Structures are given as C-alpha cells and as structure tokens.
Amino acid sequence: MLSTGLGRPALRGVTLSRWEIGVGPAVAEHGSVTATAIRAAVRGEVQGVGFRDATVRRARALALTGWVRNGADGSVEVHAEGPEPAVDALVAFLHDGPQPARVTAVAIERVGIEGHEQFAIRGLSAGVFVVQEHVATAHHFDLRLEVDGVMRSWAIPKGPSLDPAVKRLAVEVDDHETAHNTFEGALGAGRVIVWDHGTYEQGGRVAWPEALSRGHAVFVLHGEKLHGGFALQRTRAGPKAQWLLIKRRDEQARPGSDVVAEHPRSVLSGRTIDEIHA
Ligand code: MN
C-alpha cells in the first residue's frame, strides 16, 4: 500500500485515471502563468536508476518545491509545485526520466498547493529515534530524535498517542547523546526502560533543522509501537519550551487507542517500568 505517512491520501490508480499519460497537467484556467501543484506516479523501471536524484536536480533547476519518493509498488511518486510552465517542464522530464530509466506510464493528479520551501527526497531515514519511559520526580516518556548527531529530546508526561485527536504536551529538554538510546535500568533514584525505538524520516514543507527552530516539525516514525506521521508544534518558546506532539491522520493512526496502556513493555527486555528496581 502506498503511504505518504503524512495524512494525505496515497496516490491510487482510481484517483489518477483522470490525468493519464499524455494529458499532462491541465492548462491554467485563468490564461496567465499561475502557481500549480501536481502529484505524479511514474511507473516502469524507475527505482534503482537514480530517478529520485535526477528529479531533485531537475526540480531545483526549475525552482520547483515538493518532494520525490519511491513508492511501495515500485513506482516513483512526485509532488511538485510552482509556476505552471515549470511544473509542465518537470512533467515532461518525468515521462523520460534519467537515462537508465524506462518509463511506461506517468499519471498526474492536480492537487492543492501546500507551501513547500524545498524540493526533498522523502522516505529516507534521517536517523534513529527512541522513546524512553522514565520514572523520576514525575513519570514521563522521553521522545528523542537524532538530529545532526545528537538526540533532540522532549519529555512527554502522558506519553505519545496514535490517536490524531489527542494532543500531548511535550516539554523540550536537554539533548542527549546517542549512547544513551539503549540505556535501561536504575538511573539515580529513578528508573528507565526503552519503550520504543526505530528510525524516522524528516517530513514537512521546511527543511530540518530549520523546521525545529521555527517550531513546527513533521516526521514519520518507523518504530515497533509508533508508526506513521507525527507533528511537533511549539506553543511556548524559551527555556523548557512547550510543544504539542500530535499524530497525523494517516493509515497508521488509531483513533481511540491508548498505545501507552496497551503496550507497556520495553522493546529491549520485555520488562515494564515497574519491573525495574531502583
Ligand atoms: Mn526523562
């Protein structure tokens, strides 16, 4: 199943059929050069041939923004937005692809402009993440994302949720070293377990770490318990900045669920936090 992981319906054949190969993006309704946005699904021998890198180069040369990613079904998916002639030029490129590619079909769908500020490759791991359950003065969960070699960290009193209706307070705390990611056991007078871990992708419209400094960061987790798109939205800046951690509405969202209660055990040892002895 195709997954953008970011709350937007994946490209599916049925939605693409209106804009099949040869049609290209619709002409501008207003007769002048206007901004437009498309989603493309490119089929054929298009993965493992440098297609994403070539698309990034071409899109940036055309001053377009958006993203390119490998689809789970062997396709290459593209979101591009910018002036209509430039989008048309990128679509023309997608019909050929880089030299080793063999494109058999390009399906184009007009979509809304999302306001991207970069053209990025999506679906690449940005590093590791870990969630450590921590009983100290207060019980909380520490979400840590690897950014530029350190683990950016947020303390989440109630822990993460897979329910998009739930907004969890996340208080920014000191960076940790990656060496701490596998720590489990007694910590001072407190206790720690590794509640979840895995890799993550940086998403959103703004490049990282700029997205974090601006206070709105979108990412996709590939953990054992946590999956799919999340957003961190800063609500109060300054020391101990306050953020909200929100699950995005995607195929991995589980409305009404309580993942912290349902899956309390360490992904490393199988222990619960109560089975750790300070
Ligand atoms: Mn902590």
Count of positions (residues) in the chain = 278
Strands (E) located in 119-248: 119-121, 127-135, 139-147, 150-156, 167-176, 185-187, 190-202, 216-223, 227-236, 242-247
For residue 11, what pLDDT is reported?
Answer: 36
pTM: 0.81
Q: Are residues 269 and 131 in the same domain?
A: yes
Separation of CA 180 and ligand 1 centre (Å)? 11
End-to-end Cα separation, the chain, in angstroms: 45
Residue 62 belongs to some domain of the structure: yes
Neighbours of ion ligand 1 (CB under 5 A): 134, 142
Domain boundary among 64, 98, 121: 121
Separation of CA 155 and ligand 1 centre (Å)? 6
CA 144 from chain centre, in angstroms, equals 15
Write the CB contacts of 227 (distance below 8 Å, at least 6 apart in sequence). 162, 221, 252
Contact 233, 190 (CB under 8 A): no
- Give me the domain span that covers residue 97: 13-121
Domain boundary among 91, 121, 151: 121
Provide the number of structural domains found in the chain.
2
Domain boundary among 121, 155, 186: 121
Q: Largest Cα–Cα distance in the chain?
A: 71
Q: Are residues 136 and 249 in the same domain?
A: yes
Q: Are residues 112 and 140 in the same domain?
A: no
Q: Are residues 131 and 117 in the same domain?
A: no
Q: Are residues 109 and 165 in the same domain?
A: no
For residue 278, what pLDDT is reported?
Answer: 72
CA dist., res. 3 & res. 141, Å (int): 27
Separation of CA 185 and ligand 1 centre (Å)? 13
Cis peptide upstream of residue 264 (ω within 30 degrees of 0)? no
Q: Are residues 109 and 177 in the same domain?
A: no
pLDDT tens for the chain, residues 1 to 278 = 344 434 344 333 333 322 333 333 444 344 456 899 999 999 999 999 999 999 999 999 999 999 999 999 999 999 999 999 999 999 999 999 999 999 999 999 999 999 999 999 999 999 999 999 999 999 999 999 999 999 999 999 999 999 999 999 999 999 999 999 999 999 998 999 999 999 999 999 999 999 999 999 999 999 999 999 999 999 999 989 999 999 999 999 999 999 999 999 999 999 999 999 87
Separation of CA 240 and ligand 1 centre (Å)? 13
Separation of CA 187 and ligand 1 centre (Å)? 10
CA dist., res. 193 & res. 20, Å (int): 51
Residue 3 belongs to some domain of the structure: no
For residue 219, what pLDDT is reported?
Answer: 97
For residue 277, what pLDDT is reported?
Answer: 87
Separation of CA 120 and ligand 1 centre (Å)? 33
Catalytic residues: 52, 70
Separation of CA 171 and ligand 1 centre (Å)? 10
Residue 254 belongs to some domain of the structure: yes
For residue 27, what pLDDT is reported?
Answer: 42
CA dist., res. 235 & res. 169, Å (int): 9
CA dist., res. 79 & res. 57, Å (int): 14
